[in-house]
Amino acid sequence: MKLVLLGYMASGKSSIGKILAQKLDILFIDLDNYIEKKENLSISELFKTKGEIYFRKKETYYLQKLLKKDGDFILSLGGGTPCYGNNMDLVNQFDASIYLKSSLQQTFLTLSKEENKKSRPLIASISNDDLKEFIAKHLFERAPYYEKAMHHVLIDNKKMDQIAEEILLVVT
């Protein structure tokens, strides 16, 4: 089984992916971490030194490479991955894609915490006063791509284990 998790920043893709991988006893891969290892730079450094266009091209390249990999795994995508090129078409060729859907308010509450902003290049320099509007606009732009996922799981006010169990009910 190849299971792909997608959603906006801070939707829990990596945390839930790790839980699912453990429950299913299969490999977990975080696309952003994979890119960082292959490029020998953090995502923030890639954005800063090589630009977003370079990053998005590499992101699609590594996504294709991973999806062709043999064996079962859980793959968590970066928040923007589904929105570029034909990435969602690539993802939906496999067993299951899951959109971890969160409300605007929940997303804002999570991302407005300083420790969550630092590691996210797209919001690191945005004040909390402007962050909610940024998220709303971004979600509006990205939602049509996220909505193409095979399954949608609402994550607001749920624990990671509970979300993982819901996903397992959908895909097994």
What are the binding residues for substrate? 32, 56, 79, 142
Is the residue at 83 inside a domain? yes
Is the residue at 86 inside a domain? yes
Which pLDDT score is estimated for 89? Answer: 94
Which pLDDT score is estimated for 117? Answer: 72
What are the binding residues for Mg(2+)? 14
Is the residue at 170 inside a domain? no
Which pLDDT score is estimated for 125? Answer: 86
What are the binding residues for ATP? 10-15, 120
Q: Which domain holds residue 144?
A: 2-164
| CATH number where 20 lies | 3.40.50.300
Which pLDDT score is estimated for 49? Answer: 94
Residue with tokens 């590594």: 62
What are the binding residues? 10-15, 32, 56, 79, 120, 142
Is the residue at 138 inside a domain? yes
Both tokens of residue 45? 């450094």
Q: What is the pLDDT along the chain (172 residues), one digit of tens a residue?
A: 899 999 999 899 999 999 999 999 999 999 999 999 999 999 888 988 999 899 999 999 999 999 999 999 999 999 999 999 999 999 999 889 999 999 999 999 999 886 777 777 788 888 888 999 999 999 999 999 999 999 999 999 999 999 999 999 999 8
Specify which residues 154 forms β-bridges with.
101
Is the residue at 31 inside a domain? yes
**Phi, psi (deg, nearest 5) at residue 84:** -125, 145
- Tell me the residue type at 163: I
Is the residue at 169 inside a domain? no
* Number of separate domains in the chain: 1
Is the residue at 49 inside a domain? yes
Which pLDDT score is estimated for 55? Answer: 94
Is the residue at 171 inside a domain? no
Which pLDDT score is estimated for 112? Answer: 87
Give the CA distances from residue 25 to residues 22, 51, 59, 62, 125, in Å, rounded to whole numbers and listed in that order. Answer: 5, 37, 26, 23, 39
Which pLDDT score is estimated for 139? Answer: 94
Which pLDDT score is estimated for 120? Answer: 79
Which pLDDT score is estimated for 37? Answer: 97
